Amino acid sequence: MAESRLACRECHYINHGDAQACENCGSSSLTEDWAGYVVITHPERSEIAEEMNVREPGGYALKVR
C-alpha cells in the first residue's frame, strides 16, 4: 500500500503523510487533495520551476485543491 502524501496549499511541496507543517515553507495548510507530480532537481535551470516559483529542489504537486 502506498503512503499518503500531503501537498502544501502555499508552495505545492509534497510532504510525508504525517507532516504537521510543510517541510519547505512551514505552512500548516496541507491537503491530500492534489493531482500531478513533478520532481525539480535544478530549479535555477528549470522553466517549470520558474513558472511555479520554486526555489528548492524536490517534489511538487501540479494541482492543489
Annotated binding residues for Zn(2+): 8, 11, 22, 25
The residue assigned the cell 516559483 is 53
- Which set of grid coordinates corresponds to residue 49? 520551476
Q: Using an 8 Å Cβ cutoff, are 28 and 6 in contact?
A: no
CA distance 22 to 12: 9
* Known binding residues: 8, 11, 22, 25
